[in-house]
Amino acid sequence: MADVNAGVEYKINVDGNLFLLDNKKYQLLQAILDTGSLTTASKKIKVSYRTALNYIEKMESALNVKIVNTTKGGKGGGGGTSLTDDGYSILKECKKINAIMELHKEVNEIEADIVDINTEKGVMTIKMNQFEISAPLNRNYAIGDKILALISYDNIFLMLEPQSSSIRNVLKGQIIEMKLQNEIIRVKVDVGGVVLCSDITVSAEKELSLKIGTEVYVGFKAMSVATLKL
């Protein structure tokens, strides 16, 4: 099987003007903020000065805003390049997306069928084997559609007993594996023939006295389930 990877582009919208900012241009904005120099920034991201300037010109033209300010130095130097308020706002939005992606970069993937749709409550029921959960309703889906459900590891909570809360999905399972990874314990739970991963702290593992074979309840909100039609 081929090794498949997906890159990221940031869809920037400034007063209705759109621009797809790729990772290289994001790195350029970050490097300008860090170094205060377009020349140094271009070297840092390994592109020519002309290419870096072209990146800026394309962004400014498409978004119709000034992204950088450039000051010229005298004989002794002192010139530099800095981000404008708009330029910094664009970088900040990209950094927010990066932070969210980093937080949710590892997800449980579940191929399932839609078995019920409740338009009044705005939810749909999806099922794989004995595994059945609620997810936000997508009106482009229909009963019988096959979908891929994605649930981030850190959105899954482990409980010894079910509790009253806003969590719609609470399922009983059994721990089949536990591994310590960078001060976080990755717990695998078999729930109705589907294995779900949950990341918990070492202190949580001790408080709950978890071990392989322990029966637990996994819980997650319906809104934490993202879906794609297959």
- List, for residues 99-146, the tens digit of each pLDDT value: 777 666 788 999 999 999 999 999 999 999 888 999 999 989 999 999
pTM: 0.67
Interatomic CA distance for residues 151 and 195, integer angstroms: 12
**Length of the chain in residues, anyone?**
230
Q: Which of 175, 229, 215, 165 is nearest to 198 (CA)?
A: 175
The answer to whether residues 112 and 126 touch, using CB atoms and an 8 Å cutoff, is yes
129 sits in the region (left: phi over 0; alpha: psi -120 to 50; else beta) called left
Q: Which of 229, 7, 219 is nearest to 98 (CA)?
A: 7
- List, for residues 148-188, the tens digit of each pLDDT value: 999 999 899 999 998 888 888 999 999 999 999 888 999 99
Residue 25 CA: distances (Å) to CA of 46, 118, 169: 12, 43, 41
Cβ neighbours, 10 Å, residue 163: 11
- List, for residues 66-90, the tens digit of each pLDDT value: 999 988 764 445 568 999 999 999 9
